[in-house]
Structure formats: structure tokens, C-alpha cells
Amino acid sequence: MSLSEHPDYQDELKRLLFTKNYIESIIIATETSKENYREKISEAFQDLDWLDSSLSYTNILTNAQFMERSAEEVRNLKKIRPKPYFARINFKHDDRQTEEILYIGKASVFDRESQQPIIVDWRSPIANVYYDGRLGDVEYKAEGEMYEGFLSLKRQYEIVDGSLQSYRDVDLTTNDELLQDSLAKSSDNRLSEIVSTIQAEQNEIIRADLNRPIIVQGAAGSGKTTIALHRISYLIYTLGQEFNPENMMVIAPNRLFIDYISDVLPELGVDRIRQTTYVDYVQDVIGKKLKVIPQEKKLVAIVSEEPKIAETIKWVTNFKGSFQYQKMIERYMKEIQASFYPDEDFAVERFRLMTARKIKHLFQDEYNYLPYYRRVERIKKVLQGDVRRKKKQMLHKVQAIYEHKLDVALSIKEPLKRRVKVSACMDEKETRVNQLNKEIRSSVTNYMKNFPKQSLLDYYREFLNPQTFTRLSEGVLTKNEVHTFLNYQETLLKKNQFEVEDLASLLYLQHYLFGITPELKARNVVIDEAQDYSYFQFSALKALLGTDMFTIVGDLAQGIHAYRGMTDWDILVKKVFPRANYVTMQKSYRTTVEIMKTANEILDLMEEDVPKVEPVVRHGVKPLFIQGQDRQDIVRSIVDKIEKDQEDHCKNFAIITKTERDARELHKAFKHSNLLETNLLVEMDEMESGKVVIVPSYIAKGLEFDSVFIVSLDDRYTLTDVDIKLLYVAMTRPLHRLTLVANNKQDLLLNWVDEKLIDFQVRA
């Protein structure tokens, strides 16, 4: 049956037309209101009496707020205008007589007169029925209450530029069909369109308890990134007017990733929240630009250095991110705290205003909730207050002494002697009072010099001083380990360089010593690619922010920085986020069964047991191996294959190399060939629209493309865990096509893969 023959077709056309017209009328009315508010603001400015402006000023503020809300409403309506809704449910509450027909979209639209919903926001409680409910008896939760009812219809629409293209009624069978249709699309709009095909397990994570942290172990392609962003969107919806974008932060693996997700953020209404990287955020917090060695350089060193050197790098790196290293920093903080205890009482001349013991009590007990230097500031204010209160008393006592001396001088009978004595007494009194006033003015400043004054970096360098470090590492490290660590660190200190692993220590020291400025605080944090973070990075961030409201998503199988990051989530759950919900997602919605089977075979080469990915049943062509004789041959083969893939509707392409060195070499080869314009992506680069991307494997994490080429020039993959994970990451980037190009299949570990899984194009 064609779409036009469906019994509801005319009704659906009328409904869409009505919705579009209503949205248009609201946009026009709101923009007119906005102009009215602007005129009222202009009038209020003209009436503004700068001597008595309270009423006019209030009018300006009120109209400005209304205008801002109007502008926001117009922006939201214009966003949804091309596709007002994507689904419909027919639902009857058990306690009501009539069935409701509800249309679900990315934002709510209500009839301004009746307040009846024209479009229901996908984040609303009742929309949960669409995502979670099968046809029949269902329930949903709203404001702590459970509501039951009967779901008789779930329908999904394809609306393009305001035109109804198709719709299908959803049951278990068609739900799979709809999902596969969505997955078969280009990656250009998959991120923004996921809201219409959110699966039950994904929906559960998005709507999980917002008052608890959540840790998601999600397989490659499971949608964990978009789920994390949709969870923020759901939180924003739930908070409503209480939402403050400054209270939320997304920490991405690199700036390239921030650029990659930038298109979907406005769609979800989360574009105003802070998006940063761990390195950038730490530098913002400490107020210093550091020479931070990119973690990719260390990864390359581990892969390419002699085994003994590589093991040293891995051990030091792992230790810096460990629970034990954090404990050493805490020992150090206790030593620093002791240096803040004063030895002297606070006194002005012979007047003792506060004992050293009392000041120690203030620092150690009264203000122990504050960072050390803020405690010092608080103590300074207390001392200043004490001086102000007792100034008169001190001056009075001194003056009383000289009043008595003056009385004695005045009692001298001999005039000349009396005059000399009185004059000397008056001069001495004036000098003494002036001296006391001077002492009073400088007393607090002088006393505060007893407290240490060092920069954050000075403290960290002191921690790494051989004597200090050796003392603090007692019972933690052996002598040989201390020697190895200090030798490694000496090179960095000489060059004034820091590693990513040092940043957790700096953040932790900042927390204890100086604290964080309010504008850099966040109450809700999302961390993506979390498997590459160390225990200490999480712990330091949680301590600094004073919240455990984290959404943490990652995949241990993609832990290419496992030498410093997470090898399992247990320590994070037990020691850092004990309240966390922990969930796993092993279904991959990104790539085809054929590609995923090949990637799983590579994952099988790992020594550790890693959960296998379960691909959603979407079939495609087998991965293709092309044997390239030289760089020119490789470039020509890639160009030919891209042209074929474009005929199969692939729109965006990535060429993934093992290392940056290979990426640069390949980029150079393409330039010389003049056959194809490519966009080389390393840490600081941005994607250029319309160009084929060349990217090292360790930067490709989290990205996805229609067609991916994995190329080995000089840097081959070996059977080390790091190389296996790098290759696995690269293999799980494509949606539809995977092509592997090398001089021989061993360079890409394909000699370990079942030959039936791959097509081979070998040169004669």
C-alpha cells in the first residue's frame, strides 16, 4: 500500500499543515512582541531620570527579559520548523475516558489558549512511553508518581523541509527496520537525528537518576557520546528555569572532538555549556599556560622506543595517575599545612592580641573547609578586625601611662625643672603614640609574612625535589623505583615541561592551596573517552569541583592510553564515585556486521579479556584489503576506491594511519599526486568541509565516517596491546565501508584474521 492510500494519510497531512501554520503564527507573533519590547525599552531610556530612575530602570530590565525569552522562543521554533515532530503515540490513561494523540518532537509547543500540547518534547515524562513502551499496557513516571495506561499506536515520521515523506507504525519488527534505515544514512546527520531512534537501553541511561553519577562502559558505536549529550539535554529540560549553563561542563578528549560535536549541541539546546579539554581546563583553573607534552607523543614513544625505555615510560606514567601517587601528594599537603602554623603570637608592641595557638586553631579547625591560602586571607581579616577593635584600648593604655607621667612632672615644684620635664614627657608621649599608630597600621601586614608564600608550580617542584620525594615515598616505592622516577622527572624539570599525568597533581594542589574561582566551577560534568583518564585525574577533578555529579562514558577496549588510564572501572566506582550507577552497552549501532566481525577478531588478539561488541543486525560489504606497492600506488588505489564508494552514496571519508608521521607522509604523497585534496588532522587542526580527512589512529577516537581507509606506510601494527587497540579503534570508525591498505596484510595484523571475513585485492 502506497503512502497516499493509507487511511490516515489525509489526516496526517492536515495535522502537519496545522502544526506548521501554528508554529509560523507563533514566530510572527513573537517577533512582533519582540519589536514591542524593543520600543518599550527605547521609551524607558528616554524617560530615564538618572537621579531617580528606579521605575524606568525596572521597566528596562523587565522588557529586556521578555525580549530575551522571545528571542529564545523564536530560535527554538525556527529550529524545529523543517521537522516539527518525528513520532506520534495514541495513549489512554487508565483513569481517563478518552485516548490522547500526542506528537513528539525536539521541543514542546502548546496552544496558547487551551494550553493543550501540539508537540510534546521528547524529554517529557510521557514521551518515555514512546521509547520504552511496547504496544499494550504501559506505565511512566512523572514528578515521583507512576501513571498507567494503554498504548495503542506508535508511529514514526520522516519529514523533510516541512514535507511529509513517509510514516510507519512501530512494533518490534518495524522498530528494527526504522533503526536500520537510520543507521544506513550518512554520518552527516546521524548525530542530530538519533533522538528519533533512541533505543530502550539508551533511553534508560539518558533518563537514569539525575541525582546520582553514572558510569557507562559502552562499546565502539554504541552511541555513548550522543547519549551523554542527550542526558545533558534531558537534565536541562528537567531543571527548567533553574538551569544555569555555567553549572555544566563537557570535557572532551581533544579540540577536534569539540568541533566534531558542535553541530549537535544547538539541536539539543546544550550549546551554551562549557566545552573544554582536561589540559585546557587545568590551565584555566591554575591561571598558567604550561608546556604540556601532547599525550600522543608519549604514545608514539611507547610504541617506537626500545622495550626497556618504553616500560619505564609506562611505569612512571601509570604511577603518576595512581591512588598511591595521590596519597603521596596528601602526605605532602600535611607537611605544607604544618608550615602555615605560626610560632609567634600576634602582638602590637607589647600588646598580645592573639596567641599563636589560637591562630593555629583558626587555620586547622575553624577554616578547615577552605583552601590554605583562603584560610590565610580569612585569618588576616580576623586580625585586622582585632586590631580595629583594640586600637582605642591600646592607645588609651599608652596615653594613660603618659598621663600619669605628666601628673608626676606637673607636681615638680621648681618651675624650670617642671617645664623641662613636662615638655620631655609631652614629646615622648607624641613619639610613643605615633610609633604605636605606625605599628598598628603595619602589624597585620608584618605578621602575615610569617605565612609561606609560594606559587603552585613552586610547590609541585618542591614535591619533586629528590629529598622531599624520597621522604614522602617511604613505604610506597623501593629505592630503585625512586631512582627511576627522579631520573625520568629530571629531564622534564630541566626543560620546564609537564606531562598530562602531572596535571592531576597540579589540580589537587590547587584544590588544597588556592581553590577555584566561581566562574570555573561546575555542578554537572560529562567526560567522554573516560577510559583514557587516570584514577587520580577523576579524583582530583571531583575534589576541586566539590561534586560527584558526573556522567562518565568510555570503552576499555579502546583504551589506547591504558598504561595511564583505566584498565577496569572498579576502582572508580569503589573509591571515587561510590554512589554511581554503572551500566554497560555492548550493542554497536555504528557499523555493519561484516566490519564488526573483523574488528572483534583483532580484539581477540588482546591478552586481557575484553567484552565483544554485539553489532545490530545491519549487513553490508566485507572489508577490503588492497595491497599497495609504493606510495604512488597506494594513493591511486585510495582515489579509485573513494570514487566507487561515492557511487554507493558515501559522503565523508577518513584515511587513518597508525601514527602522525605516517599521516604527514601520506598527506604529502596526495599533495604531490594532485589527485585528491586532503585535510590533515592532528591535535590542533579543524575539519575542513568537503575534504577527505587524514588522521592518526589515536586522534580518530570518537569520530565516525561513511567510509574509512586504514593505511600502513612505514609504521606497522604489532601484537602489543597498544597496537591492537589502535587498530581496533580505526576499524570501528566506519559506518558502511572499510578498506585496509598496506604493502602486505601482516602490517595490519590481517594474517590473524579469518580470510573469509575479508575481500582481497592483491596486485599481480
State the pLDDT at residue 478: 95
State the pLDDT at residue 187: 54
Q: What are phi and psi of 731, to 5 degrees?
A: -70, -20
Q: What is the mean pLDDT of residues 399-408?
A: 78
End-to-end CA separation in angstroms for the chain? 52
Q: Which residues pair with 292 in a beta bridge?
A: 498
- Of 69-73, 512-516, 663-667, the one with minimum mean pLDDT is 69-73
State the pLDDT at residue 87: 93
- Average pLDDT over the chain, rounded to whole? 87
- Of 61-65, 78-82, 211-215, the one with minimum mean pLDDT is 61-65
C-alpha cell at 462: 618542591
Share of residues in the chain with pLDDT > 70 (%) = 90
Contacts of 139 (CB under 8 A, 6+ apart): 146, 147, 148, 149
State the pLDDT at residue 520: 95
Is it the case that residue 679 has pLDDT exceeding 70? yes
Q: What is the mean pLDDT of residues 549-563?
A: 90
Q: What is the mean pLDDT of residues 582-594?
A: 90
- Give kind and range of the element (H or E) at residue 456: helix 456-463
484 torsion bin: left (phi>0), alpha (psi -120 to 50), beta (else): alpha
Question: What is the Cα–Cα distance from 181 to 165, expressed in whole angstroms?
Answer: 14
Is it the case that residue 238 has pLDDT exceeding 50? yes
Question: What is the Cα–Cα distance from 305 to 291, expressed in whole angstroms?
Answer: 22
Kindly report the pTM of this predicted structure.
Answer: 0.84
Residue 134 banded pLDDT, cuts 50, 70, 90: confident
**Position with higher pLDDT, 63 vs 290:** 290
Q: Which fold has domain 593-762?
A: Rossmann fold (3.40.50)
- Give kind and range of the element (H or E) at residue 174: helix 172-183
Contact 534, 504 (CB under 8 A): yes
CATH entry 3.40.50.300 includes domain 208-334+451-585? yes
Share of residues in the chain with pLDDT > 90 (%) = 55
Is it the case that residue 59 has pLDDT exceeding 70? no
- Encoded amino acid at 333, one letter: M
Q: What is the mean pLDDT of residues 44-71?
A: 51
Torsion angle (degrees, nearest 10) of CA 237, 242, 246, 251:
-40
Residue 68 banded pLDDT, cuts 50, 70, 90: low
Of the spans 222-231, 424-433, 609-618, which averages the highest pLDDT? Answer: 222-231
Chain-centre distance of CA 759, in angstroms? 40
Residue 197 banded pLDDT, cuts 50, 70, 90: confident
Annotated ligand binding at 491? The verdict is: no
Annotated ligand binding at 222? The verdict is: yes
Contact 293, 489 (CB under 8 A): no
State the pLDDT at residue 36: 61
CA angle 272, 273, 274 (to 5 degrees): 120
Question: What is the Cα–Cα distance from 40 to 32, expressed in whole angstroms?
Answer: 13
Annotated ligand binding at 644? The verdict is: no
Is it the case that residue 143 has pLDDT exceeding 90? no
Question: What is the Cα–Cα distance from 345 to 88, expressed in whole angstroms?
Answer: 75
- Of 91-95, 386-390, 545-549, 607-611, the one with minimum mean pLDDT is 607-611
Q: What is the mean pLDDT of residues 369-382?
A: 96
C-alpha cell at 27: 514566530
Q: What is the mean pLDDT of residues 89-108?
A: 92
Q: What is the mean pLDDT of residues 15-22?
A: 93
Give start and end residues of each alpha helix (H) in 216-304. Answer: 224-239, 255-261, 264-268, 278-286, 295-304
Residue 177 banded pLDDT, cuts 50, 70, 90: low
State the pLDDT at residue 560: 85
State the pLDDT at residue 173: 40
State the pLDDT at residue 417: 80
Is it the case that residue 132 has pLDDT exceeding 70? yes
C-alpha cell at 389: 577593635
CA angle 579, 580, 586 (to 5 degrees): 160
Is it the case that residue 163 has pLDDT exceeding 70? yes
Q: What is the mean pLDDT of residues 267-292?
A: 89
Residue 340 banded pLDDT, cuts 50, 70, 90: very high
At 718-735, the pLDDT tens digits run 998 889 999 999 999 999
- Of 150-159, 249-258, 277-286, 597-606, the one with minimum mean pLDDT is 249-258
State the pLDDT at residue 762: 65
Question: What is the Cα–Cα distance from 541 to 333, expressed in whole angstroms?
Answer: 17
Give start and end residues of each alpha helix (H) in 613-673. Answer: 631-647, 660-673
In three-state form (DSSP H/G/I as H, E/B as E, the rest C), the secondary structure along 127-150 is: HHHHHHCCCEEEEEEECCEEEEEE
State the pLDDT at residue 45: 47
Of the spans 185-199, 333-347, 429-443, which averages the highest pLDDT? Answer: 333-347
- The neighbour count for residue 356, using CB atoms within 10 Å, is 15
Annotated ligand binding at 224? The verdict is: yes
Residue 47 banded pLDDT, cuts 50, 70, 90: low
* Fold match, 208-334+451-585 / 593-762: yes
**Position with higher pLDDT, 589 vs 19:** 19
Contacts of 543 (CB under 8 A, 6+ apart): 508, 511
Annotated ligand binding at 225? The verdict is: yes
Annotated ligand binding at 220? The verdict is: yes
Q: Where are the domains of the chain?
A: 8-198, 208-334+451-585, 343-448, 593-762
Enumerate long-range contacts of 447-454, CB under 8 Å, 24 or more apart: 447/342, 447/344, 447/346, 447/383, 448/376, 448/380, 448/383, 450/342, 450/343, 450/344, 451/340, 451/342, 451/376, 452/336, 452/339, 452/340
| Secondary structure E strands in 342-488 | 346-348, 351-354
Annotated ligand binding at 223? The verdict is: yes
State the pLDDT at residue 272: 77
State the pLDDT at residue 473: 96
- Give kind and range of the element (H or E) at residue 313: helix 307-320
